[in-house]
Structures are given as C-alpha cells and as structure tokens.
Amino acid sequence: MYGEPTADGWRAWDPGRSKLGGMFELGFQTGLSGGETVLYLGAASGTTVSHVADFAGPTYAVEFAPRPARDLVEAAEPRDRLFPLLKDARTPTRYAHVVESDVDAIVQDVATRGQAEVAVRNARFLADDGRLLLAIKARSEDVTAAPEAVFESALDRLREAYEILETRRLDRFHEDHLGVVATPK
C-alpha cells in the first residue's frame, strides 16, 4: 500500500505519517496486541487504519470527506476486517446501527474543532475495559492558542466521560499534538 516497504509480510509503519504509529513508537500503553474490535474515527485515506486492520479484528473506519474515503475504500478492498463508513464522527447516531457496541478500542485522529467532544459522543461504543487512543491536534482546535491551553481544555472535557491513563506530546513525530490513552468511567 502506497509503496511502503515490507519485512516478513508486514508493512513498515512510519510514525511520522501516523499519530497512532507515533504513540506505539513512544511506548504508549495502547492495549492493542491483536484481534481487538476497533472503531477508527478520522480514517482519511486509510493508511493508519489499514495497518490496524492488518492485526486487529473487525475495524470500523469512519471518514467524513468523500475524496479520502475513495482511497479508504480501495485500502479496505483486500482486507475483510476493514469496514469503511462515509460518516461524520461528530454524529455517531448515523453509524450506530453498523458499529457493534463494546468495541475494544476507539482510535481517534480527526482534524476538527471539538476533538474531545467527538471522543465523548463516541464513548457509547467502547467496552467498559476498552481504550480510547486519541491524538489531540492543537492547531485544529485553535491555531492562535498555546497548545498547552488547548490540551488542558480538551482533557477537562474528556475527564467527564473518561479516566485519563496516559498523556504525552507527540512532537518528536507530530508537532503540537498530544497523545492520550483513556478508559471509560
């Protein structure tokens, strides 16, 4: 896919192109080891979500924009566990009839204002012991605000629905991004 190098049948996962890949590289405790059911919010053209679907169980890939969704559909074609959904992650009621409840992980990589609100609205799908793996993009929230202020505001909103287990800046790979691992309250 996309000309990525492979080794032993696995595609190389570039942490500079994937916030989740950066979280793995930085040692976040994602709880992902293989076979999990995943809801992926902000799937874009399918690069990272296709990596996830290569080792996870059923992987529901939500993408709002039609152009990247076309590439996502192509990425899903050879993967029987990857289910692309042309939907808006801000309105989970529009895909609730498709996504199974009690998913093991929600991976969120959306570039919009209200990223914490998106996570809270989608918490309904997460199993009690599931994990939210979120990349908060400060510049998508407010390009004029200090990233730390943006992160604190987002974390305050997340704490209403989640217990925050781990946070760390992803600046080594993605400037002004905060990785978050959380579990539902």
List the binding residues. 47-48, 63-64, 88-89, 109-112
What is the distance, to the nearest Å, from the Cα of residue 96 to the centroid of all Cα atoms in its chain? 17
Residues placed in the known binding site for S-adenosyl-L-methionine: 47-48, 63-64, 88-89, 109-112
In 33-98, alpha helices (H): 47-55, 66-76
Q: Residue 61: CB partners within 8 Å, gap ≥ 6?
A: 40, 43, 46, 49, 53, 72, 76, 82, 83, 84, 85
| Cβ atoms of residues 40 and 107 within 8 Å | yes
Give 183's strand partners.
163
Neighbour tally for 128: CB within 10 Å: 8
Task: Find, among 15, 8, 88, 24, the residue nearest to 47 by Cα.
Answer: 15
CA distance 15 to 44: 16
